[in-house]
Amino acid sequence: MFTITSYTVEVIKDPFGILTGRRYEFLIDIEVEEDDELYSESGLYIRAIYNVEEGKSGLLKYELYEKTTQLYLDFELEDDEVAEVDAFCKAHVLEADDE
């Protein structure tokens, strides 16, 4: 498991109108325990894309990165961790700056 320490959320601009719904990019800083396979001394963050459409919303994709190196990590989160990220995004999606 991990602990969310901070995050940012932004609306993904769609100047051509080709995406369905509204998409949001979350950058979620996380802490994991040292004995976890995801652990990195550099720190970690999750880049999550969340989609909101009429009648449904959900996590489209996520990626894990090391904070200081910006290195992509090819790891899958556990199902309960994915559910936690999805619930977090759902709870915070309205905080996006809609300029």
pTM: 0.91
Instruction: Decide the pairing of beta strands 44-53 and 22-32.
Output: antiparallel
Q: Inform me whether the pLDDT recorded for 27 exceeds 90.
A: yes
Q: How many domains does the chain have?
A: 1
Tell me the backbone φ, ψ of residue 29, rounded to 5 degrees: -75, 135
Q: What share of the chain is helix, strand, coil (3-state, %, to 5)?
A: 15, 45, 35
Comparison of pLDDT for 19 and 49, the residue scoring more: 49
Q: Which domain holds residue 24?
A: 2-97
For residue 98, the model assigns a pLDDT of 64
The reported pLDDT for the residue numbered 41 is 87
**99 pLDDT more than 60:** no
Cβ distance 66 to 43 under 8 Å?
yes
Q: For residue range 60-72, what is the model confidence (pLDDT) as tens digits?
A: 999 999 999 999 9
